Structure 1
Amino acid sequence: MGSIYLIRHGQASFGADDYDVLSPVGIRQAEVLGAHLAQLGTRLDRSLSGNLRRQQHTANTTLEQLRAANIDAPALEVDAAFNEFDADAVVRTLIPGMLAEEPEALHILRNGPSNRAEFQRLFAKLIGRWIAGEHDQPGLQSWQGFVEQVNGGLERLLEQADSKQNIAVFTSGGTITALLHLITGIAPAQAFELNWQIVNTSLSCLKFRGSQVSLASFNSHVHLQLLKTPELITYR
């Protein structure tokens, strides 16, 4: 059987003007991941990411660590199907319909870094509306549309894959969530409950034979845990 390693990007720049940039912690997480894979002697036949900078930076930093250990690492391929959903667009589109029941919503969203618990509560509520499909609006990618996007990327990957290949996909939490939904049949709401637990640079492993795919492991971040440095274990 072949293996697909779903790797969430390192910590991005939450609260900054440009979220799509790895923070110093995110860069360190990717370095630690690459060193850990090198120590294990992991050999990858292919590596892919979406076209987001945080995904590609994580991928290239990880692959550089493998090469530094004299382990051949494949060039990074890009497939936008593995991009994250546009969370900003979801918030902008759906927040007006929530203001009556959440009058402090705009204040919470504008001050997310200083009030992470309230931000997460509100964001989870918005995601719940999005995945329910009852608030779809023109111009906003629906949850179902996002799932179809991710499924297209998975199908392309499998069509091109050899049955014994090890393939790394550097992606995002929402994309991993969509794949969990597709592969295990778990309901979207339950999949997103798992989403909130996905650690930056964690690995989830899929096993495949032909077009048959199963989940082998989820959210492993032992490479961070071994350092006994709690600040490297992040979720955004």
Structure 2
Amino acid sequence: MGNIYLIRHGQASFGADDYDVLSPLGVRQSHALGEHLAQLGLQFDRCIAGDLRRQQDTARLALERLAANGSAVAPVETDPAFNEFDADGVIRALVPDLLPHEPEALQVLRNPAQHRSEFQRLFALMVQRWHDGEHAPSDGLETWASFTGRVGGGLQRVLAQASSRDNIAIFTSGGTIAALLHLVTGVTPAQAFALNWQIINTSLSQLKFRGRDVALTSFNSQAHVQLLRMPELITYR
């Protein structure tokens, strides 16, 4: 059987002007991941990342550490099928319907780094309405069905090109991993996102495949940061 390792990107710059940049902590997480992969003796036949900067940089930094420890490293391929859904677009589309019930929402959303727990609560409400289709149509906003179709198409391309014993790394994002959990295990979107909120930065989830048959074998492994005994490296956003 072959293996697909789903790797969430390192911590991005939450609350900054450009979220899509690894924070200094995200760089440390990526280095720790690469060292851990080397200690496991993992070698990847293919490495794939979405085209978001945080995904690409996590792949580059982790694989540099893996190569520095003597492992053969495949070049990173880019497939935007594994990009995250448009969180800003979801917020823009759904916040008008939220405001009558949550009058403080705009203040929280404008200063998310100062209101982390409240931001997460509001964001989770909007994501639930998005994946349930409980919102007015919005020009340009990717629907949940379109998002899962995009992600599923990326997975099928990977499987179609894979050999039976390949080890494949996919550097991606939490929402994309949630979509894959939904597609592979059959859990509901709500259940998939309940799991998504638990995925830490640079965690590994593992799929095993035989042909087009895929099964989840591990979820949200965080051994590489736990073994370092540095709790500051365990982040969720």
TM-score band by shorter chain is over 0.9
Greater alpha carbon shift after TM alignment, 196-205 vs 131-140: 131-140
Superposed, 1:191-230 pairs within 5 Å as 191-230=192-231
- Amino acid paired to 2:9: H
Query: SS at 2:140's partner residue?
Result: coil
TM-score, normalised on structure 2? 0.98
Q: CA offset at residue 137 of structure 1?
A: 2.5
Q: Quick one: distance in 2 between partners of 1:98 and 1:38?
A: 46
Question: What do residues 138-181 of structure 1 show as CA deviations (whole Å, max 9, x unaligned)?
Answer: 32110111000000000000000001000000000000000000
Q: Quick one: distance in 1 between partners of 2:94 and 2:6?
A: 29
Instruction: Find runs of 4+ consecutive structure 1 residues off by over 3 angstroms.
Output: none
Q: Quick one: distance in 2 between partners of 1:203 and 1:193?
A: 17
Q: Quick one: distance in 2 between partners of 1:98 and 1:199?
A: 27
Query: SS at 1:64's partner residue?
Result: helix
Q: CA offset at residue 114 of structure 1?
A: 1.1
Q: CA offset at residue 40 of structure 1?
A: 1.3
Whether 1:138 and 2:139 are equivalent positions in the alignment is yes
What is the count of residue pairs matched by the alignment?
236
Whether 1:182 and 2:189 are equivalent positions in the alignment is no
Query: SS at 1:162's partner residue?
Result: coil
- Amino acid paired to 2:199: I
What residue number does 1:25 align with? 25
Superposed, 1:145-160 pairs within 5 Å as 145-160=146-161
Q: Quick one: distance in 2 between partners of 1:229 and 1:114?
A: 24
What residue number does 1:49 align with? 49
Q: Quick one: distance in 2 between partners of 1:18 and 1:80?
A: 19
Q: Quick one: distance in 1 between partners of 2:195 and 2:157?
A: 25
Question: What do residues 194-226 of structure 1 show as CA deviations (whole Å, max 9, x unaligned)?
Answer: 000000000000000000000000000100001
Query: SS at 2:72's partner residue?
Result: coil
Identity %: 64
Query: SS at 1:6's partner residue?
Result: strand
Q: Quick one: distance in 2 between partners of 1:8 and 1:93?
A: 26
Q: Quick one: distance in 2 between partners of 1:163 and 1:61?
A: 28
Q: Quick one: distance in 2 between partners of 1:6 and 1:230?
A: 22
Greater alpha carbon shift after TM alignment, 127-136 vs 224-233: 127-136
Q: CA offset at residue 134 of structure 1?
A: 2.5
- Amino acid paired to 1:54: R
Q: Quick one: distance in 2 between partners of 1:71 and 1:217?
A: 23
Q: Quick one: distance in 2 between partners of 1:129 and 1:42?
A: 40
Q: CA offset at residue 51 of structure 1?
A: 0.1
Q: CA offset at residue 70 of structure 1?
A: 1.3
Q: CA offset at residue 133 of structure 1?
A: 1.0
TM-score, normalised on structure 1? 0.99
Gaps of 5+ in 2: none
Q: Quick one: distance in 1 between partners of 2:40 and 2:177?
A: 24
Q: Quick one: distance in 2 between partners of 1:98 and 1:39?
A: 47
Query: SS at 1:17's partner residue?
Result: coil
Q: CA offset at residue 17 of structure 1?
A: 0.3
Q: Quick one: distance in 2 between partners of 1:206 and 1:90?
A: 28
Q: Quick one: distance in 2 between partners of 1:163 and 1:51?
A: 26
Q: Quick one: distance in 2 between partners of 1:24 and 1:99?
A: 34
Q: Quick one: distance in 2 between partners of 1:40 and 1:81?
A: 28
Q: Quick one: distance in 1 between partners of 2:3 and 2:85?
A: 24
Gaps of 5+ in 1: none
What residue number does 1:71 align with? 71
